A and B are shown apart, each in its own frame.
Chain A
Amino acid sequence: MQSQESPSELLSSEPILRVEGVAKSFPKRQSGGKEEIIKVLEDVNFELKGGSFTSIIGPSGCGKTTLLRIVDGLLKPDAGRVIFNGEVVTTPPTRMGFVFQQFGLLPWRSVLKNVEFGLELRGTDPEERKEIAQKYIDIVGLRGYENNYVHEISAGMQQRVGLARALSIDPDVLLMDEPFASIDMQTREILQRQLLQIVKASVPKTTLFVTHNVDEAVYLSDEILLLGTHPAKVREVVKVELPPKRWTYDLRSQQEYTRLRQKIWKFLEKEIMERGGFGSFDPQEP
């Protein structure tokens, strides 16, 4: 372990993934039966440095999932492109892992078989893929649950399976779409800490993490992209300069943490109030 390294030294300067001018619109059916085109994303630009943990934060419904699906090649952008490992993404790249908000586990498979899924599709030999899957099951702390069905374990454990499945294909970039949004608070905090330990120490990964939770973003990230709404666009890139190995100390008592938290929350509040259709809000009104 190279414990004395600062985070900037850990990050390579070459971007591993670059999003260039991505735009996306969806047709939306109006009440009159007419179709209206809604611009969800417009001119989204950012890049991920190798080894970094980057969060995308924005209000609910602003287009975070849409953006992540475009990055993974699940959805075609109307304009712009995504460059991953020097190539334009058109279909889901083999070296990207995806962790879904609703877990996306296959209920007819055991924990082990779910983790093996990506390797199985790749035609990895059964012995080897079982070994690899077991390794990641151990890393996410699910040893002993290999043969359980998905419905037999808690939501937090289900998302661990989702994470192990994404890690087992040894991705260069890990995409996570609000992975802890539907998990209770206590479990979520533990999962956040363990996620950081995993992607910053056990199996270092470049991570792109989508969330609408300010604390989560500040705690986990080296960089936070603030996404505005209607249409969504990167308004600001916030660097989180807090000491590494954040799971070893109480980050939340640090002044910088509080400052960033307030700054991001202000941004979100403004986005939601101004563009979210709340209008001017007067608490005096009956």
Chain B
Amino acid sequence: MVLLIPKSLEEGEGLPEAEAETATGIENPSGISFQKKLIAFIVSFSVFLLLWQLVANESGNSLIVAGPLPVFQSLVNLLQNHIPLIARGAETADSAILETLEVIVLGFALSVVVGIPIGIAAGLYRSVEGVVEPWVSVVYSIPIVALVPVIYYGIGASFTADVLIAFLFSVFTIIINTQNGVRYMSNSLAEVGRTYGATSWQFITKIVVPASTPDMVTGMRIAVGRAILGAVLAEALIGETGLGGLMMIFQATFSTSYMMAAVVLIAIMGILVLQVPKILEHRLFKWKETERLARM
């Protein structure tokens, strides 16, 4: 709460300005929608904090559930690299954050670089689809968590193993969404390309890719979330490094409020990382604007 209040005030600085503009008759829909979203967020967040506090009171044991205030205190300590004595030897928070970020970014980037070409090829060619589809079904029908020990015994507890798991968690989502985008692209667009003499490469870069970009970005947005999941899971289950590792160490040492602070850190990082495809979407799809649902 202590952190939230100055933050919301800071963001609220834009409000009087937006009101002034609407008062003078200048439409400012983005200002209004921002206000609405902010209020909705503050309400839902307060309800969340309240429920959290209630659950903590009910359990009556801060080793099982720590309330929001101790967790916030632990978060501040963590960020200043003050860790409980019992968990000494754990990584400092900033290096843990950095490491986890690296795993996410590398795993995700790898799955984009690998997934998009495979998805395009699978969308365009039946033969590639025939190769890819069974594997996608297999990976979707078994939990990827089951692969973690296999990778652990295969290449050992290492940074590479974490990246590989983040990659495996996200790549199939990108392949499937890209393939769908290409598969359901309108044939008349393809015909336009042919009529005006597009080479195969031009056809892919100037028609197929832009036409399926909305689906690719949707895939990426889901994939980022899955890469985060994969990274934290890998860190928690093998090697105990990064934020996932930190979380496990605090749990093992009964530093519950610190463990939950680590979870909060992971959540914050996830929210920040998830903004990237959102920004990308906004910039890339100005041409789709009127096709969007008008919201209240």
* A residues at B contact (CB < 8 Å): 72, 74, 91-92, 94, 96, 98, 100, 102, 104, 106-109, 117-118, 120-122, 149-152, 165, 169
Report Cα–Cα, A96/B194, bound state, in Å.
Answer: 12
Contact of B195 among A92, A149, A150, A152 (CB under 8 A): A92
Q: Which B residues are in CB contact (< 8 Å) with A108? A: 210-211, 213, 287
Check A121/B189 contact, CB under 8 A, given A98-B195, A149-B286, A150-B287.
Answer: no
Q: Nearest 3 A-B pairs (CB), nearest first?
A: A104-B192, A118-B196, A98-B195
A149 touching B206 by the CB < 8 A rule? no
Closest partner residue, chain A, to B286 (CB atom): A149
Q: Which A residues are in CB contact (< 8 Å) with B287? A: 107-109, 149-151
Q: Mark B199-219, 1 if CB is under 8 A from A, else 0.
A: 100100011001101000000
Q: Which A residues are in CB contact (< 8 Å) with B286? A: 149
For window 272-294 of B, CB contacts with A under 8 Å fall at 286-291
Report Cα–Cα, A109/B211, bound state, in Å.
Answer: 11
Report Cα–Cα, A96/B206, bound state, in Å.
Answer: 20
Report Cα–Cα, A91/B198, bound state, in Å.
Answer: 11
B130 at the interface (CB under 8 A from A): no
Q: Which A residues are in CB contact (< 8 Å) with B291? A: 151
Q: Which A residues are in CB contact (< 8 Å) with B6? A: none
Closest partner residue, chain B, to A150 (CB atom): B287
Q: Which A residues are in CB contact (< 8 Å) with B290? A: 151-152
Contact of B198 among A96, A109, A121 (CB under 8 A): A121
- B: contact size bracket: 20 to 34
Most buried by A among B196, B197, B198, B289: B196
Q: Which B residues are in CB contact (< 8 Å) with A165? A: 196
B188 at the interface (CB under 8 A from A): yes
CB distance from A195 to the nearest CB of B (A): 19
* B residues at A contact (CB < 8 Å): 188-189, 191-199, 202, 206-207, 210-211, 213, 286-291
- Beyond contacts A100-B192, A106-B210: 8 other A-B pairs, Cβ-Cβ < 8 A, are A94-B197, A100-B188, A106-B192, A107-B287, A121-B198, A121-B199, A121-B206, A165-B196
CB distance from A209 to the nearest CB of B (A): 16
Closest partner residue, chain B, to A93 (CB atom): B197
Q: Which A residues are in CB contact (< 8 Å) with B188? A: 100, 102, 104
A92 touching B213 by the CB < 8 A rule? no
CB distance from A177 to the nearest CB of B (A): 11
Check A169/B207 contact, CB under 8 A, given A74-B191, A100-B188, A104-B189.
Answer: no
* 18 residue pairs from A and B, CB less than 8 Å apart: A74-B194, A92-B194, A92-B196, A92-B197, A96-B195, A104-B189, A104-B191, A104-B192, A106-B207, A107-B287, A117-B206, A118-B196, A118-B197, A120-B206, A121-B202, A149-B287, A151-B289, A151-B291
Q: Which B residues are in CB contact (< 8 Å) with A122? A: 197
Interface of A is mostly: loop
Closest partner residue, chain B, to A72 (CB atom): B195
CB distance from A137 to the nearest CB of B (A): 17
Report Cα–Cα, A74/B191, bound state, in Å.
Answer: 8
CB distance from B196 to the nearest CB of A (A): 4
Report Cα–Cα, A118/B198, bound state, in Å.
Answer: 8
Q: Which B residues are in CB contact (< 8 Å) with A150? A: 287
CB distance from B48 to the nearest CB of A (A): 39
Report Cα–Cα, A114/B55, bound state, in Å.
Answer: 59
Q: Which A residues are in CB contact (< 8 Å) with B197? A: 92, 94, 118, 121-122
Q: Which B residues are in CB contact (< 8 Å) with A151? A: 287-291
Report Cα–Cα, A106/B212, bound state, in Å.
Answer: 12
Q: Which B residues are in CB contact (< 8 Å) with A104? A: 188-189, 191-192
Report Cα–Cα, A106/B288, bound state, in Å.
Answer: 12
Report Cα–Cα, A74/B198, bound state, in Å.
Answer: 12
Report Cα–Cα, A149/B291, bound state, in Å.
Answer: 12
Report Cα–Cα, A51/B196, bound state, in Å.
Answer: 22
CB distance from B27 to the nearest CB of A (A): 18
Closest partner residue, chain A, to B202 (CB atom): A121
CB distance from B50 to the nearest CB of A (A): 45
Report Cα–Cα, A104/B192, bound state, in Å.
Answer: 6
B189 touching A74 by the CB < 8 A rule? no
Check A106/B189 contact, CB under 8 A, given A151-B287, A151-B290.
Answer: yes
Report Cα–Cα, A92/B199, bound state, in Å.
Answer: 12
CB distance from B291 to the nearest CB of A (A): 7
CB distance from A44 to the nearest CB of B (A): 20
Report Cα–Cα, A152/B196, bound state, in Å.
Answer: 24
CB distance from B213 to the nearest CB of A (A): 7
Q: Which A residues are in CB contact (< 8 Å) with B195? A: 72, 74, 92, 96, 98
Report Cα–Cα, A62/B68, bound state, in Å.
Answer: 72
Closest partner residue, chain B, to A99 (CB atom): B195
Q: Which B residues are in CB contact (< 8 Å) with A149? A: 286-287
CB distance from A82 to the nearest CB of B (A): 14
Closest partner residue, chain B, to A119 (CB atom): B196
Report Cα–Cα, A151/B195, bound state, in Å.
Answer: 22
A121 touching B196 by the CB < 8 A rule? yes
Most buried by A among B193, B195, B207, B287: B195
Closest partner residue, chain A, to B290 (CB atom): A151
Report Cα–Cα, A47/B189, bound state, in Å.
Answer: 29
Closest partner residue, chain A, to B199 (CB atom): A121
Closest partner residue, chain A, to B188 (CB atom): A104
